[in-house]
Amino acid sequence: MIPDGYLAIADKGYRGEMEKASVPNPLDPAMVAEFKSTVRARHKTFNGRLKNFAVINERLRHKPVMERHKACFEAVAIITQYSIELGNPLFEL
């Protein structure tokens, strides 16, 4: 769902896996490397907030459970996003 002309910022684990991912690159200019690092840190912090709700702590493989898990995950992601928008930033820039 990434629009054409845009890349997702990802860690080295996605190297070669996604054609629309920009991973750390030693040839990146310092400003680009810092931007990518900041984006990855914010994403890691967001995931940490999701883990506070224990929604993504387990692997679920059965379809009915997975559908409920998806709904719970989306609800927690929305709650976390609202929290950020209401003045609880992931961290100050």
Task: Look up tokens 């692997």; give the residue.
Answer: 59
Residue 31, SS3 per DSSP:
helix
Condensed to tens digits (0 to 9), the pLDDT of residues 48-85 reads 877 777 766 666 666 676 677 778 888 888 888 888 88
Q: Is the pLDDT of residue 93 over 60?
A: no
User: Which pTM value belongs to this model?
Assistant: 0.63
Contact 15, 23 (CB under 8 A): yes
The larger pLDDT score, comparing residue 13 to residue 57, is at 13
